[in-house]
Amino acid sequence: MDLRPIRNTRQRKFLGALFALALLLPLFCTVTVPLAEKFLLPEAFPMLLEARDPEGLSVADSILRKPLGVHVLWKAVFPFFRRTPDGVVAGWGVLCALGVSTLTGVLLFLATRSHLEGPGFFAFFLAALSSPSLLFTGTTSPGGALLLAFCSIAAFSLLSYAVLERTFFLFVAGLALGAAPFVHPAALYYVIGMAMILWMLFPGDRDRKLALYIVLFSPFALLGGGWAFLHWIYERGGPLFPNVRALYAIWGSSRLSLLLLACIFFVIGRQSYPENDASCRLMLTRDGAFTICDRGRMVRFESFWIAHLLILAALFVLGRDSDEKIPVLVLAMGTMLCLAAVAAAPRGWRRNVPVLTLLVVLSAVGWYELPRTWSLLEMWEQALQGEPEIAALYPEDAETAAFLRSVTRSREPVSLPEDGADVLAFLSDVSRAPRGSASRIAVLPSSATREISERIFFGNGFWKVILREEATQHEHVRPVSVPVVRP
């Protein structure tokens, strides 16, 4: 691996721009927008509903984007336009996918540019974009996209540190591992898995390993402490770490112990084999997909990749039944890591293309093998194939959105009556809201439970999510009746 500083200014600027673009796009949606929504642009709320105007609302409009972010941005730049063009809205999701792929590609390029030529980089990029799981995650879940980005950054940075012992990579890995659980709860399990196996992947005495762990995991601890503090402040003494419940809701505590057991099994198994034992290498060929380093260090990096695969497998097995997005996410993470590893193999890009193609095929097969109980997958595939009118799919949403749009002109908190099934009311903590009256209503197309609602709004600590029946009892809420069209 060649990680010497890039001296060519143009190259550096280009990569810097790509990196910034890749990182900022998903980050914008999950971090900047909620802040803007809360503090800077409360008047943006009616726009949210404006976007759900039934006329012209398409599947792409509904799924392939996160409407608020794009609209806030659009309105801020072009305030004189009343509506945001659909093309701009639909492009957001694709940009997310491009961003994540680019980000990982840039890291890969940085790590392997001595032997990875431009066409090899392009091949990786194409392969990443051809993978349905990566595209799906990028286009439907900014949190998932960020998780992919952060985990990829962490993996490559750790690998780079192991090879070059440059502290820079260790710190980048620490920051990525620290940030990942805050963009997607699944990352916490990835972090735990890494914590359990990393100690045996790096040489050194106790002091060195302790230093390594402090650097790698203190960002998570510090950010976690900060998050707890903020939550405590804004919830006025409410429970710390509200998302712990969400985390348990994904897998439950018993499954966590299964993950721990899997990791312990790996550690014991790994220690049973001396470093040069051939049986350890049977899992991967010397010239195979995961070998990216010289022979002297090969065993350590085999362990590195095995550890990653083990963590992903554990995530897949443990999470597939409890959250429909988890299998896709795991598939995406695995695909990303495998593609990157293959593209980085020092064999020339022509020799990598067949393996990359094979991996894309395998990824596609994995995609079609995913359980089809989840409607979003089908909707997404439909959206890729064409754009049926939203009214045909979700007439009740369209009707409700049209009504809510008129209702919320007054910016009053709104609740929905009992017969407005499948609809939740979301309102800010009125006592602390800016200007004292900001409110927001969102419409969910599927039946929602408290569990889902809390998970969906993970990370948005400034909003209280109140179920319809609770909302109607709130002193500031004015119940309204919603004409619901049922199919």
Quick one: 35 or 261, whose CB is closer to another protein? 35
- Mark the segment that binds another protein (CB under 8 A) among 186-194, 218-226, 283-291, 315-323: 218-226
Query: How far is it, in rounded angstroms, from Cα 26 to Cα 30?
Result: 7
Quick one: 2 or 381, whose CB is closer to another protein? 2
Quick one: 176 or 424, whose CB is closer to another protein? 176
Q: Which of 223, 317, 452, 480 binds another protein (CB under 8 A)?
A: 223
| Site for another protein, residues 25 to 44, rule: CB under 8 A | 35, 38-40
The tokens for 235 are 């919830």
Quick one: 217 or 403, whose CB is closer to another protein? 217
Taking each helix axis as running N to C, give the angle between helix 325-344 and helix 298-319, from 0 to 180 degrees, rounded to the nearest 10.
Answer: 160
The tokens for 452 are 């889902």
CB contact set of 324 (below 8 Å; sequence gap of 6+): 371, 373, 374, 376, 377
252 backbone φψ class: left, alpha, beta (φ>0; ψ -120 to 50): left
Does 181 interact with another protein (rule: CB under 8 A)? no
Does 222 interact with another protein (rule: CB under 8 A)? yes
Closest approach of another protein to the CB of residue 438, in Å: 11
Quick one: 40 or 283, whose CB is closer to another protein? 40
Instruction: DSSP for 318-360, please give it.
Output: HHTTT-THHHHHHHHHHHHHHHHHHHHSSS-HHHHHHHHHHHH
Does 17 interact with another protein (rule: CB under 8 A)? no
Closest approach of another protein to the CB of residue 177, in Å: 12
Quick one: 34 or 132, whose CB is closer to another protein? 34
Quick one: 162 or 383, whose CB is closer to another protein? 162
Which residue in this structure is represented by tokens 């990352």? 187
Quick one: 157 or 415, whose CB is closer to another protein? 157
Query: How far is it, in rounded angstroms, from Cα 1 to Cα 246?
Result: 40
Q: H or E stretch including 426?
A: strand 425-428
The tokens for 227 are 């998050």
| Burial of 335: CB neighbours in 10 Å, binned 0-12, 13-18, 19+ | buried
- Mark the segment that binds another protein (CB under 8 A) among 113-121, 123-131, 221-229, 417-425: 221-229
CB contact set of 269 (below 8 Å; sequence gap of 6+): none
For the sheet containing 425-428, what is the strand order?
439-440, 425-428, 463-466
Closest approach of another protein to the CB of residue 171, in Å: 6
Helices and strands in the chain: count of H runs, count of E runs: 23, 5
Quick one: 31 or 364, whose CB is closer to another protein? 31
Q: Which of 85, 226, 354, 483 binds another protein (CB under 8 A)?
A: 226
Q: H or E stretch including 439?
A: strand 439-440
Q: Which of 16, 239, 371, 434 binds another protein (CB under 8 A)?
A: 434
Q: Are strands 478-479 and 439-440 parallel, antiparallel or unpaired?
A: unpaired
Closest approach of another protein to the CB of residue 273, in Å: 28
Which residue in this structure is represented by tokens 């495998």? 338
Query: How far is it, in rounded angstroms, from Cα 458 to Cα 454?
Result: 6
**Local structure of residue 286 (DSSP, 8 states):** T
- Mark the segment that binds another protein (CB under 8 A) among 103-111, 204-212, 258-266, 335-343: 204-212
Q: Which of 13, 81, 85, 210 binds another protein (CB under 8 A)?
A: 210
Give the other-Cβ count within 10 Å of 1's Cβ.
Answer: 22
Does 241 interact with another protein (rule: CB under 8 A)? no
Quick one: 461 or 479, whose CB is closer to another protein? 461
136 to 165: interface string for another protein, x by CB under 8 A: ----------------------------xx
Q: Which of 56, 85, 118, 204 binds another protein (CB under 8 A)?
A: 204
Q: Which residues bind another protein (CB under 8 A)?
A: 4-5, 35, 38-40, 164-168, 170-171, 174-175, 204-205, 207-208, 210-211, 214-215, 218-219, 222-223, 225-226, 229-230, 233, 434
